[in-house]
């Protein structure tokens, strides 16, 4: 009943609070409605005032625009006349500059003709170089050296290397086994290619084609015999043609020669395909380095794992020592508590004995014969006599 009365009182209080809140909200809504009506009236007056002002400004602006338009038209007509005059002057200046530029360009053309003449002389000189087999070989070797240097790190190649059979390769690419070192030799069958290119009639083209194929096959055999050394080099070698035109002719019309070179494990490349091949070689070298580094990392990880196992054992030993130390500390605390309690009992006994000595009459009056004969059970001396056992 008491709880029900308290609940009804709380409900009545809540209802009263809600009624007061409702009255306050009704008052606030009335205030908001009045404020809204006032604001709407003010807004209407403001809008009407601004519309009147805007109409006045538009009338004034229209008049100003008409005046400015007339002034602008006059200014533009004056500017147009000035521009026409300036354009005529500028056209005359540009015409003069154009004539001057033409004269300079004619001078440049004369200079270019001189350069063309010099270039023609250089082309003739290059033709003379290519006509000489020894000079042509040096040209191919230089081109080979430039491509290799641009594609590989210095530790990955060597030039003019003498093999175990006494033959000297133009370039030796050092790769890990397998596949091993790969020899590259530069060959430039220019005479047979020129004969094939210059042949106009079909019989002459057939004969020149046979000569061209025979020259390529001879170079392939020479490279296979000289630069594939079992146990020293890879099982294949590379033949470098320093001319894209010769390489294109070979692969376009002499597929049987290319197939024969594959059977001999000699791969024919041009400057472009050699660059692609060397990029593959560089990837192989990088992969070999990564495998080597992976071995080192794996060894270090194994050593680290051993250190972790050793650390785990030492941590377990330290945890065991800490457990023993904690047990010893608990035993010491137990012994200390017993000592303190015994000392307190001894102190209490000493105080009672001192009181009995100071008041012997009281002690004799209160003591009974049985109590004087032996200590009573539950007396102050009992804890001292019985104790709590030996310290541990």
Cα–Cα distance, 184 to 160 (Å, whole number): 10
DSSP H or E segment with residue 64 = helix 2-131
Cα–Cα distance, 180 to 281 (Å, whole number): 11
* Cβ neighbours, 10 Å, residue 242: 22
pLDDT in tens, the chain (392 residues): 556 667 777 777 888 888 888 888 888 888 887 887 887 778 878 877 888 788 788 888 777 877 888 788 888 888 888 888 888 888 878 888 888 888 888 888 878 877 776 666 555 444 554 555 666 667 788 888 999 998 888 888 999 989 989 999 999 998 887 778 899 998 888 788 888 888 888 888 889 899 999 999 999 999 999 999 988 898 999 999 988 888 998 989 999 999 999 999 999 999 999 988 888 888 888 877 777 666 677 777 788 778 777 877 888 888 888 888 888 888 888 888 888 888 888 877 766 666 665 655 544 444 444 444 444 444 444 444 444 555 55
Give the single-character DSSP code of 367.
Answer: -
Helices (H), 231-270: 244-253, 255-263
Cα–Cα distance, 392 to 335 (Å, whole number): 6
pLDDT at residue 384 in the model: 42
pLDDT at residue 376 in the model: 42
DSSP 223-241: HHHHH--TTTS-S-EEEE-
Phi-psi region of 389 (alpha: psi -120 to 50; beta: other; left: phi over 0): left
pLDDT at residue 378 in the model: 41
Which tens digits make up the pLDDT trace of 133-181? Answer: 666 667 788 888 999 998 888 888 999 989 989 999 999 998 887 778 8
pLDDT at residue 198 in the model: 83
Tokens of 346: 């001894």
pLDDT at residue 372 in the model: 43
Beta bridge mates, 158: 172
Those residues with Cβ within 8 angstroms of residue 304's Cβ, 6 or more apart along the chain or in another chain: none
Q: Name the pTM for this structure.
A: 0.45
Q: Where do we find the tokens 């084609």?
A: 209
In this structure, are residues 216 and 250 in contact, taking their beta carbons and an 8 Å threshold?
A: yes
DSSP 4-60: HHHHHHHHHHHHHHHHHHHHHHHHHHHHHHHHHHHHHHHHHHHHHHHHHHHHHHHHH
Cα–Cα distance, 260 to 217 (Å, whole number): 8
Q: Which CATH number fits domain 133-292: 3.50.50, 2.60.40, 3.40.1350, 3.40.50?
A: 3.40.1350
pLDDT at residue 110 in the model: 78
């Amino acid at each position: 009943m008491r709880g029900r009365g308290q609940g009804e009182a709380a409900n009545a209080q809540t209802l009263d609070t809600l009624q007061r809140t409702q009255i306050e909200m009704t008052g606030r809504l009335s205030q908001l409605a009045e404020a809204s009506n006032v604001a709407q009236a003010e807004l209407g007056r403001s809008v009407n005032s601004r519309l009147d002002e805007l109409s006045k400004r538009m009338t004034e602006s229209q008049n100003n625009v008409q005046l400015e338009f007339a002034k602008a038209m006059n200014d533009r007509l004056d500017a147009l006349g000035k521009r026409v005059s300036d354009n005529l002057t500028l056209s005359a200046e540009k015409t003069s500059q154009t004539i001057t530029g033409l004269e300079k360009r004619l001078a440049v053309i004369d200079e270019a003709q001189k350069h063309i003449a010099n270039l023609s002389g250089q082309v003739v000189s290059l033709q003379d170089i290519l006509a000489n087999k020894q000079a042509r070989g040096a040209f191919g070797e230089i081109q080979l050296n430039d491509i290799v240097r641009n594609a590989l790190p210095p530790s990955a190649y060597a030039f003019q290397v003498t093999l175990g059979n006494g033959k000297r390769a133009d370039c030796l690419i050092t790769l890990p086994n397998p596949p091993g070192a790969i020899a590259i030799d530069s060959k430039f069958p220019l005479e047979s290619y020129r004969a094939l290119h210059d042949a106009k009639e079909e019989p002459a083209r057939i004969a020149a084609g046979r000569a061209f194929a025979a020259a390529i096959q001879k170079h392939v055999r020479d490279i296979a015999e000289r630069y594939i050394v079992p146990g020293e080099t890879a099982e294949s070698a590379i033949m470098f043609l320093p001319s894209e035109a010769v390489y294109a002719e070979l692969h376009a019309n002499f597929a049987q020669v290319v197939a024969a070179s594959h059977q001999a494990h000699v791969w024919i490349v041009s400057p472009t395909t050699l660059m692609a091949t060397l990029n593959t070689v560089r990837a192989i070298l990088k992969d070999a380095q990564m495998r080597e580094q992976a071995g080192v990392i794996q060894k270090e990880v194994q050593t680290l794992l051993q250190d972790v196992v050793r650390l785990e054992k030492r941590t377990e030993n330290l945890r065991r020592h800490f457990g023993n130390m904690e047990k010893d500390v608990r035993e010491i605390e137990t012994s200390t508590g017993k000592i303190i309690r015994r000392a307190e009992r001894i102190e209490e006994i000493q105080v009672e004995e001192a009181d009995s000595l100071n008041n012997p009459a009281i002690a004799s009056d209160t003591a009974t014969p049985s109590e004087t004969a032996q200590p009573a059970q539950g007396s102050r001396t009992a804890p001292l006599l019985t104790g709590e056992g030996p310290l541990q």
